[in-house]
């Protein structure tokens, strides 16, 4: 059917010259897109949501970009925390990833300070090599966020801004969905309940209108596919190809459940379940056939196991996760979620753009799902013409820039997540043998080679999702040493950033390291417990 055949059944638009963005899907991506586009583009926005297909209802950890979104939307952080059952997230603790009983940390932010513009890791590596830092010294000993995690502190005093520049939230996905919907409706977004059954194209290959199950049509200038893995418009109508990454990231399923109270794995490996100090970090544990998360929420703990169905059954995965978190398998009701790993290099075709799971998905090891929605919205905004009736037309949309940028963003996330597996030394189960020895994409192989030989991290030119320090956090504990980055002469003390040479007495670099820790301890002592 073409638009001219359908033309007669369209009701007249209320305001014929108005620009109209129609978003299909009422999950996190749909409501977040609606609120953001309404505020930033300012035109009419409608969300159509099925009451037959529930949203995926997972997605409990975020990265610091979420803080920016809240601020840009004019939302009060305290209210956000209360409404979404959130806690602060300052780091991820990785247990049993490099080998059984090994532990490392991926905190937000950088460690200490850079020295002469060079990341602290280079001075730290030198200190360990030359013996002026202790042998058991860790790079993350100089992270403020890690210091806060060690002491169970939150990043701010009530009523004050955060002292830690980089922080994020753990949140309750169900509560987030309700909150986002309220925010969007308050912005003036319109809401319709209904199943989209068809999206016929016009003679230019654009979506002419949406046909809802109740027989009514819905017409817009731009259609945003937020229908999750169903990909109702971008796949079924626009035929946008899917680039499959399941050969590289081999986990394809997850089970999730909540347990009362908060869990914490103690140093002796024992699990303690009960109401105890609320950890300001996520725990990610390497399992027999994948990895698990434990996410402390205000009221309970979110647990999940991301696994490869070739290596473990749903039932066995549930038992293994229950054993880890000290839950009774007969008492928990677990949800199983199939995962499709990959992305669409053409996320925007004609007047249809996909955002969220319909655009792509990388397993949630670094909590990037909600961030990728935000990033797509930022890029989309830059590639849209002004919302005037003449300009707001598929012919004026900058698809190529948007698709190129989003492809780069998704591939960096894929490489960064895959890096956790390829540097693992675990070979104790068939899963780890398979997951750690996959064929690496050329981009990741190149990044690792360059890192080892020059100490540089090859980053995307535009707003890298993971910066240099993030790579050091994963590579250093795995024993991958950054190539030497020469600054000064060997044995000479590095300059203090911002202070011209000659205006200070050179100090031994160990003094800088000591002062970083001392100042972190002092700041930490002034902050309240995370609870």
85 belongs to the binding site for ligand FAD (CB under 6 A):
no
- Give least dist CB 257 to ligand FAD, A: 12
Which one from 89, 175, 318, 335 is the annotated catalytic residue?
89
Q: Is residue 196 near ligand FAD by the rule CB under 6 A?
A: yes
Choices 19-27, 101-109, 132-140, 323-331 (CB under 6 A): range interacting with ligand FAD: 19-27
Query: Looking at 35, 37, 45, 232, which residue binds ligand FAD (CB under 6 A)?
Result: 232
Query: Is residue 89 annotated as part of the catalytic site, yes or no?
Result: yes
Nearest to 273 by CA among 287, 257, 259: 259
Q: Please report whether residue 353 would count as binding ligand FAD according to CB under 6 A.
A: no
Query: Given candidates 26, 107, 360, 455, which one binds ligand FAD under the rule CB under 6 A?
Result: 26
> Tokens at residue 345, please?
């290099």
**Between 50 and 125, CB nearer to ligand FAD:** 50
Told to check if 376 binds ligand FAD by CB under 6 A, we report: no
Pairwise CA distance, residues 14 & 75, whole Å: 31
| Shortest spacing between CB 31 and ligand FAD, in angstroms | 8
Interaction residues for ligand FAD, span 43-82 (CB under 6 A):
48-50, 53, 55-56, 58-62
Contacts (CB under 6 A) with ligand FAD, residues 268-327: 304
List Cα–Cα distances, 480 to 415, 442, 452, 455, in angstroms.
Answer: 16, 18, 7, 10
Q: Collect contacts of 205-209 with beta carbons under 8 A, ≥24 apart.
A: 205/238, 205/349, 205/350, 206/350, 206/351, 206/352, 206/394, 207/233, 207/237, 207/238, 207/350, 207/351, 207/352, 208/1, 208/2, 208/3, 208/6, 209/3, 209/6, 209/10
Q: Which residue in the set 357, 377, 394, 444 belongs to the binding site for ligand FAD (CB under 6 A)?
A: 357
Would you say the C-alpha torsion 460, 463, 469, 472 has a positive or negative sign? negative
Q: Residue 29 Cβ, how far from ligand FAD at the closest point, in Å?
A: 3
Among 23, 27, 289, 380, binds ligand FAD (CB under 6 A): 27
d(CA 276, CA 66): 26
Q: How open is the CA angle 405-25-233, to the nearest 5 degrees?
A: 65
Q: How many residues bind ligand FAD (CB under 6 A)?
A: 35
Please identify, among the stretches 224-232, 384-392, 428-436, 445-453, the one whose residues bind ligand FAD according to the rule CB under 6 A: 224-232
Site for ligand FAD in 89-148 (CB under 6 A): none
Q: Cite the beta strand spans of 43-195 per DSSP E.
A: 44-49, 87-89, 91-95, 103-107, 168-170, 190-193
Q: Do residues 310 and 433 lie in contact, with contact meaning Cβ atoms separated by under 8 Å?
A: no
Q: What element of type H or E holds 342?
A: strand 342-343
Selected binder of ligand FAD within 163, 298, 337, 495 (CB under 6 A):
337
Write out the binding residues for ligand FAD, residues 440-499 only, by CB under 6 A: none
Q: CB of 22: closest distance to ligand FAD in angstroms? A: 11
Q: Which two tokens stand for residue 463?
A: 């707003």
Q: How many CA atoms lie within 13 A of 197 on its CB side?
A: 8
CA distance 189 to 34: 7
* Residue selected from 19, 21, 22, 29 as contacting ligand FAD according to rule CB under 6 A: 29
Residue 291 dihedral angles phi and psi, to the nearest 5°: -150, 160
Smaller CB separation from ligand FAD, 304 or 477: 304
96 is written with which tokens? Answer: 């049993």
417 touching ligand FAD, by CB under 6 A: no
With CB under 6 A as the contact rule, the residue among 24, 92, 153, 469 that binds ligand FAD is 24
- Annotated catalytic sites, by residue? 89
Residues that bind ligand FAD (CB under 6 A): 24-30, 48-50, 53, 55-56, 58-62, 195-196, 226-228, 230, 232, 254, 304, 337, 339, 356-357, 364, 367, 369-370
């Amino acid at each position: 059917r073409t638009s001219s055949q359908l033309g007669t059944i369209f009701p007249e638009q209320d305001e014929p010259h108005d620009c109209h963005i129609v978003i299909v899907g009422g999950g996190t991506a749909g409501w977040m897109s609606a609120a953001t586009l309404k505020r930033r583009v300012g035109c009419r926005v409608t969300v159509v949501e099925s009451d037959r297909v529930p949203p995926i209802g997972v997605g409990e950890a975020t990265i610091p970009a979420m803080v920016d979104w809240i601020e840009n939307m004019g939302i009060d952080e305290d209210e956000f925390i209360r409404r979404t059952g959130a806690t602060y997230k300052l780091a991820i603790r990785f247990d049993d990833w490099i080998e059984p009983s090994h532990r490392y940390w991926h905190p937000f932010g950088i460690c200490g300070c850079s020295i002469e513009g060079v990341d602290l890791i280079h001075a730290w590596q030198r200190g360990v090599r030359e013996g002026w830092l202790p042998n058991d010294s860790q790079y993350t000993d100089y992270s403020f966020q890690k210091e806060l995690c060690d002491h169970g502190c939150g990043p701010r005093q009530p009523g004050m801004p955060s002292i830690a520049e980089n922080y994020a939230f753990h949140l309750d996905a169900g509560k987030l969905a309700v909150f986002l919907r309220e925010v969007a409706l308050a912005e003036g977004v319109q809401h319709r309940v209904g199943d989209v059954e068809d999206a016929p194209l016009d003679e230019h290959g654009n979506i002419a209108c949406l046909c809802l199950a109740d027989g009514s049509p819905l017409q817009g200038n731009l259609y945003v596919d937020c229908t999750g893995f169903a990909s109702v418009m971008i796949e079924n109508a626009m035929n946008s190809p899917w680039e499959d990454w399941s050969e590289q990231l081999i986990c394809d399923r997850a089970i999730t459940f909540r347990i009362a109270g908060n869990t914490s794995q103690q140093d002796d490996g024992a699990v303690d379940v009960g109401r105890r100090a609320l950890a300001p970090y996520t725990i990610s544990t390497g399992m027999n056939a994948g990895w698990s998360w434990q996410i402390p929420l205000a009221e309970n703990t979110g647990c999940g196991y991301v696994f490869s169905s070739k290596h473990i059954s749903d039932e066995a995965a549930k038992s293994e996760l229950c054993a880890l978190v000290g839950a009774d398998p007969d008492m928990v009701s677990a949800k199983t979620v199939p995962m499709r790993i990959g992305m669409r290099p053409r996320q925007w075709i004609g007047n249809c753009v996909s955002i969220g799971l319909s655009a792509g998905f990388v397993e949630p090891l670094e909590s990037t799902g909600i961030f990728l929605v935000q990033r797509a919205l930022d890029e989309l905004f830059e590639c849209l013409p002004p919302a005037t009736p003449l300009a707001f037309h598929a012919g004026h949309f900058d698809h190529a820039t948007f698709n190129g940028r989003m492809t780069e963003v998704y591939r960096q996330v894929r490489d960064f997540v895959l890096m956790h597996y390829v540097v693992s030394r675990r070979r104790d189960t068939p899963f780890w043998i398979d997951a750690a020895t996959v064929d690496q994409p050329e981009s990741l192989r190149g990044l690792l080679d360059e890192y080892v030989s020059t100490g540089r991290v090859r980053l995307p030119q535009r707003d890298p999702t993971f910066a240099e320090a993030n790579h050091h956090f994963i590579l250093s504990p795995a024993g991958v040493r950054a190539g030497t980055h020469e600054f000064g002469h060997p044995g000479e003390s590095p300059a203090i950033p911002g202070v011209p040479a000659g205006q200070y007495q050179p100090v031994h670099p160990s003094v800088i390291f000591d002062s970083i820790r001392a100042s972190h301890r002092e700041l930490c002592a002034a902050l309240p417990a995370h609870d």
